[in-house]
Structure 1
Amino acid sequence: MLFRGKSVDDISAMLQTMIYTVKPLRKKEHIVNEGETADHIGIILSGQVEVQKNHSNGNNVTIARLGRGQTFGEAVIFRKENVYPATIIAPGNCCVMFISKQELLRLFAADTDMLSSYMENLSERLVMVNQNIEILSVGSLRKRIVFYLLKQADQQSSNTLKLPFSRKVWAELLNTARPSLSRELAFLRDNGWIDFKGSEFTLLNREGMEDLLEKFKRK
């Protein structure tokens, strides 16, 4: 997100003057721990990272999964209390580029386009948080599933869509257990609303799904 709109040559020239580190990470390795000071942002160069919230009962909930080109730490690095609110781990081998707060400030002063890209990224993250809140506020688990599938169908411009993550991550996003998610999906399939195979879903009764949500809105 820092380098949006820049050519490969522009980026290569910038990297010659930047101070940064690149770190390869192994599967299950912790990148940052909840409560640590956020004094760098991370840019994922390859692989994926998981943002997890650890609860006192020992359960870990995946809040987000980020892939190549995405960043972490940018939302907290400039806060007064700049500590990570969650733990970030590598679910598999990955590689991350780290840029310090001081280096970011130097880059922003030298290139206002980079500052604009940074602010745009923060705005997109805020929209994602609001979307997650919207999903959880819809009502029952069945309604949350229907709401999410309809949203994905709109975003992918097709009634046949592919989930962007695993069932486990989807269950965590919907704030439910995976077996409960599986039961509701089976109900929707058995009643002719949807069909699915693996991560690919087809909406068979979109009108009925939309009507379910309209009934919720009218309450």
Structure 2
Amino acid sequence: MNKFIQPLRKCILFKDLSDDEIDGLLSKIKFTLYEKCMNCINCKTCILALEGEDCTSIGIVLQGNVEIQKHYPNGKIVSLSSLNEGKIFGEAIVFSSHHKYPATIVTMRNSKIMHISREDIIYMCSVNSQVLKNFMELLSSKILNLNKKVTELSLETLRQKIIFYLLQLYKEQKTLKLMLPISKKSLAEYLGVQRPSLSRELINMKNEGLINVEKDLVEILDIETLQDYINIY
């Protein structure tokens, strides 16, 4: 069991629990593990769950990365989010009356995922009040993220969308020198634009003295002007 403790320490579900408490909970539930086809040298990704399939458990990333993707009939794929070690997926729908995955879940090479069923989630919440508190916090954060998404959709221009994204990172990282957690290609997909359009707008903002861009680092130079652009902070 102990080999799972370190990544689970990073998971909000087990926040403020001791190693012994985590180990004790794991010993009383029947979790399952998914390990990406480690022996396959040809594929870089593997589909863990397709959009529309039943979600009967939450997934916790123990190792590697998981991407939440939207697949369109014309072949277009948009990356909605990227999850690394300790992150959870499925928590908002596992107890829903319509517990279907709203997007496709893709694992990267050498990823390892722990699945915990809804029954075992209920058990852990019933025997440990901290787990219950953590799960409620997780769901509350999901609601706040949905509200943020609604705000994003209300923004009309690409510049407003970029600024909103950067200001969210500023709130999270608490520094004007922001490290982008995803590639610019993934960011363009997240914002729903072509990569050249994103690059062009970032260059325009740099030339206007609003930001400085260096690979995966974006430094905010004029936060007051950025806030005025969207007028919501």
Q: TM-score over 0.5 for the alignment?
A: yes
The residue matched to 2:112 in structure 1 has which SS? strand
Percent sequence identity over aligned pairs: 35
Corresponding pairs, count: 215
Can you list the C-alpha shifts for 1:83-131, whole angstroms capped at 9, x where unaligned? 1111100133210011112222222232233222112111111212221
Measured at CA, do residues 110 and 159 of structure 1 come closer, stay the same or move farther in structure 2, by a change above 3 Å? closer
Correspondence 1:139 to 2:156? yes
Report the equivalent of 2:17: 6
Measured at CA, do residues 186 and 65 of structure 1 come closer, stay the same or move farther in structure 2, by a change above 3 Å? same
Aligned partners of 1:136 and 1:174 also within 8 Å: no
After TM superposition, which residue ranges in structure 1, 4 or more long, deviate above 6 angstroms? none
Correspondence 1:43 to 2:54? no
Alignment of 1:53-68 (within 5 A): 53-68=70-85
Report the equivalent of 2:8: none
Measured at CA, do residues 166 and 113 of structure 1 come closer, stay the same or move farther in structure 2, by a change above 3 Å? same
CA RMSD across the alignment: 1.7
Aligned partners of 2:17 and 2:130 also within 8 Å: no
User: How far apart in 2 are the matches of 1:109 and 1:153?
Assistant: 37
Report the equivalent of 1:156: 173
In structure 2, stretches of 5+ residues that fail to align are: 1-11, 38-43
The one-letter amino acid paired with 1:196 is V
State the Cα distance separating 1:197 from its structure 2 match. 0.7
User: How far apart in 2 are the matches of 1:122 and 1:161?
Assistant: 26
User: How far apart in 1 are the matches of 2:226 and 2:126?
Assistant: 50
TM-score by length of structure 1 reads 0.90
In structure 1, stretches of 5+ residues that fail to align are: none
